């Protein structure tokens, strides 16, 4: 696939499981559902997709099913702390129907900025496809600073970043100094509106599994100059991300998708576990509050308290 500069709303798709295995029926249903909406692309097998718990065959199957059910561009999530292994993984996916990869900074080992530059440069040399850098220091233990980021942005196939640096000044200065064509997509769901007003190109938002159209409409309104309308829409959405991250993601999102009939089980793989009863009750109340006018349940909606088969 040709290189693209990702913009707009990208969804880091959850991976549905049932009885310990990949739930292909639910996965197909999910992909078809989001393919019919305003999502600009899907991120597969990344953090929200529990990618670290998928074996190689399952990951390939997730990609194949998504490609069969959707014409949207697909980006594969990759992570690891061994540059050589990641180069081999990239080579292994050379024939997969993906546009590129979202690659997190190496975790735990905490390399220097020079080490990070060399790491991502080696990965860029290993493929002609696009690479999005995933900078999330509160998970990896290392922050890719703007000086190094801008060095890497000179590479033609390093086309952008999922920005979760958790430093407002760093994010703003990156938006100010980045070269033309280098995409900055926020990965901080609760800061989506703020990031857009500062010039971000969009977001990779787990929360957009829910109220997808409303998340997309915020950016569309800002692009047309309707800042008051975008702010009003964000006020209605702003409580969703804290709720969907009230316990480790993607458990709350999977509960929501199960309750609304998009997946057949909210199952996760250890060490991730399902939501507590307290958070389940909060989610159920919010689902009921957001039902269509008149309180009519959507097709497939499950009732509170039901236990997955």
Say if CB 269 and CB 17 are below 8 A apart. yes
Peptide bond before 194: cis, by omega within 30 degrees of 0? Answer: no
What burial class does residue 194 get, using C-beta atoms within 10 Å of its C-beta: 0-12 exposed, 13-18 middle, 19+ buried?
A: middle
If you ran DSSP here, which 8-state letter would residue 191 be given? G
194 is in an annotated binding site: no
Q: Give the chain's radius of gyration (CA, Å).
A: 19
SS3 label, residue 67? helix
Token output for 205: 């938002």
103 is in an annotated binding site: no
SS3 label, residue 201? coil
Q: Which residue of the set 34, 88, 138, 162 is catalytic?
A: 162
Residues 172 and 238: their CA atoms lie apart, in Å, by 21
Task: Give the residue carrying structure tokens 């546009």.
Answer: 99
Residues 47 and 49: their CA atoms lie apart, in Å, by 5
Our answer to whether residue 134 is catalytic in this structure is yes
Token output for 29: 């249903």
Angle at alpha carbon of residue 164, lines to 160 and 168, rounded to 5°: 105
Least Cα distance to 283 among 248, 309, 257 occurs for 257
Q: Which residue of the set 34, 88, 134, 193 is catalytic?
A: 134
Question: Which residues are part of a known binding site for pyruvate?
Answer: 48, 204
Active site residues: 134, 162
């Amino acid at each position: 696939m040709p290189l693209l500069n990702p913009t707009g709303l990208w969804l880091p798709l959850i991976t549905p499981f049932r009885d310990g295995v990949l739930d292909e029926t639910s996965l197909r249903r999910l992909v078809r559902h989001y393919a019919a909406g305003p999502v600009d692309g899907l991120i597969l097998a990344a953090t929200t997709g529990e990618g670290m718990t998928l074996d190689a065959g399952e990951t390939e199957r997730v990609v194949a099913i998504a490609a069969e059910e959707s014409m949207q561009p697909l980006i594969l999530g990759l992570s690891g702390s061994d540059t050589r292994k990641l180069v081999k993984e990239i080579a292994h996916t050379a024939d997969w129907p993906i546009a590129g990869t979202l690659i997190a900074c190496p975790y735990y080992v905490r390399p220097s900025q020079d080490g990070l530059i060399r790491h991502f440069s080696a990965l860029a040399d290993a493929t002609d496809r696009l690479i999005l850098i995933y900078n999330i220091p509160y998970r990896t233990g290392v922050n890719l600073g703007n000086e190094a980021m801008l060095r890497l942005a000179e590479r033609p196939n390093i086309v952008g970043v999922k920005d979760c640096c958790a430093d407002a000044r760093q994010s703003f200065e990156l938006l100010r100094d980045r070269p033309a064509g280098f995409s900055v997509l926020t990965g901080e769901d609760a800061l989506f509106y703020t990031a857009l007003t500062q010039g971000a190109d969009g977001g990779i938002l787990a929360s957009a599994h829910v109220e997808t159209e409303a998340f997309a409409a915020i950016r569309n309104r800002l692009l047309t100059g309707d800042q008051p309308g975008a702010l009003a829409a964000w006020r209605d959405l702003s409580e969703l991300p804290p709720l969907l991250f009230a316990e480790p993601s993607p458990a709350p999102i999977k509960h929501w998708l199960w309750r609304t009939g998009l997946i057949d089980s909210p199952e996760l793989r250890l060490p991730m576990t399902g939501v507590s009863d307290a958070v389940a009750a909060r989610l159920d109340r919010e689902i009921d509050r957001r039902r269509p006018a008149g309180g009519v349940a959507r097709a497939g909606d499950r009732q509170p308290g039901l236990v997955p088969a």
